[in-house]
């Protein structure tokens, strides 16, 4: 969690929204960083505690549904 918080600390000072977005895109928690910037969340920890599990999964780069489907099919890539 500290690594994620330090990512925000490193870019929170950027006043220009576009420049902030460019730097935020380099992180795994883009939505959380924008929520912090907009004052919609007080910390990354609180953001993750209040978001849906699917939002949390996307924020950290996990697609649990796809992983479960792959596991159910014996490890093969999901056909769709």
Does residue 12 carry a pLDDT above 50?
yes
CA distance readout (Å), 59 to 12, 31, 48, 54: 18, 7, 9, 8
Residue range(s) defining the domain that contains residue 12: 2-72
As given in the structure block, the two tokens for residue 2 are: 């500290």
Number of structural domains the chain divides into:
1
On whether residue 78 sits in a domain, the answer given is no
On whether residue 80 sits in a domain, the answer given is no
**Buried-exposed string 34-68: b where 16+ CB fall within 10 A, e elsewhere:** bbbbeeebeebeebbeebeeeebbbbeeeeeeeee
Q: What is the pTM of this model?
A: 0.64
What is the per-residue pLDDT across 27-80, written as a single tens digit (0 to 9) for each?
Answer: 878 888 999 999 999 888 888 888 887 777 776 677 778 888 888 887 655 444
């Amino acid at each position: 969690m500290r690594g994620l918080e330090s990512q925000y600390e490193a870019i929170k000072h950027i006043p220009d929204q576009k420049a902030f977005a460019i730097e935020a895109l380099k992180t795994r928690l883009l939505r959380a960083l924008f929520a912090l910037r907009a004052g919609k969340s007080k910390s990354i920890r609180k953001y993750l505690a209040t978001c849906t599990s699917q939002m949390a999964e996307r924020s950290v780069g996990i697609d649990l549904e796809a992983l479960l489907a792959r596991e159910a099919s014996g490890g093969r890539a999901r056909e769709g």
